[in-house]
Structure 1
Amino acid sequence: MSVNFRIKSLPSEEFLPLMQMTDRELSLLDAKWIDVEEEPGYPCRVTLSDAKKGERVLFLPYWHHNVKSPYKAMGTILVREGAESTHFEVNQIPSMLQSRLLSVRAYNTKNIMVNHSVTEGTQLSEEIQKQLGQTDASYLQLHFAGPGCFCCTVERA
């Protein structure tokens, strides 16, 4: 049985107030601007694309799994300066994800992890199908397997 899914990036509106802050204000939130020095390597969680050399990205802590559960989690993310939310089609895999090793974490409706795996981005669609094909998997979170940083959420479409 095939399961339709949609990859969800973070909403740009959530970061607009931060984009207007001074370096001092950002430092009080443990956030800072970083100049992009190489490509790829600075994956934006709003566009789900790599920032280009010469751009700036906001480097900050983020509650990526802010739920009532022992699996509540915060980690670092990057957001491109001026990033606009990207909306993906049903079953579309952003190219940024296809070239990375990813950790796939499946959660049930009570926000408890029910399965996990590590997969090459080229096999991500098949792994999403496998994980969401489980009756108790409600949604997935993708992380970059090496550094362990949150990437995006996958929901049933």
Structure 2
Amino acid sequence: MGFQLSGLPIEVFTPLFGQPDAVLRRQNVLRLVAEPGFPCRLSLRDATPGEPVLLLSYPHLTGPTPYRATGPIFVRETARETAVFTNMVPPEMRPRLYSVRGYNDAGIMLDADVAAGAALESLIERLFENPQIAYLHLHHARRGCYACRADRA
């Protein structure tokens, strides 16, 4: 069974790109200088150290569910498109530990597990064996931040 990992939709964030810091702060957004390990939720790649990134809160699970969730994410201001990876995990994701959560169409969590990035493919495939799971959310296990979404391909 195939799967697709997707970054967040870039069009949500482009209005923030290039805004003055004072304007960003009024929206609870911080511009930072990337350090090693700042993962971009659009490109699903790590920002280059020294690159400008935005740190903001993003509602990654919305709708009428008790699992509604919002959390901090990094976005590279130089990102130009939403990343999509089919049947593969990007190299930058492989060294990290992830919590993978499977939800049904109503946004109710049906299953979850933790895996190293190098083992994500098999975990994603195993969770998608349950036909009631509509999509998966991947989170960085140590800090709990949203990483990306997985859908069947």
Matched residue SS, 1:57: strand
1:54 counterpart (50, 65, 90)? 50
CA shift at 1:89, angstroms? 4.2
Quote the RMSD (CA, aligned, Å).
1.1
Contact 1:36/1:57, CA 8 A, preserved across alignment: yes
Deviations 1:19-43 (A, max 9, x none): 1322112111211101123x2x100
Residues 20-31 of structure 1: matches in 2 within 5 Å?
A: 20-31=18-29
What is the number of residues matched between the two proteins?
Answer: 153
Equivalent pairs: percent with the same residue? 39
Change (3 A) 1:59 1:89: closer
Matches of 1:49 and 1:87 in 2, distance apart?
A: 9
Matches of 1:95 and 1:68 in 2, distance apart?
A: 35
Matches of 1:131 and 1:89 in 2, distance apart?
A: 18
TM-score, normalised to structure 1, is 0.93
What amino acid maps onto 2:104 in structure 1?
A: N
TM-score, normalised to structure 2, is 0.95
2:73 counterpart (70, 77, 83)? 77
Kindly indicate whether residue 108 of structure 2 is the aligned counterpart of residue 108 of structure 1: no
Matched residue SS, 1:146: coil
Matches of 1:90 and 1:36 in 2, distance apart?
A: 27
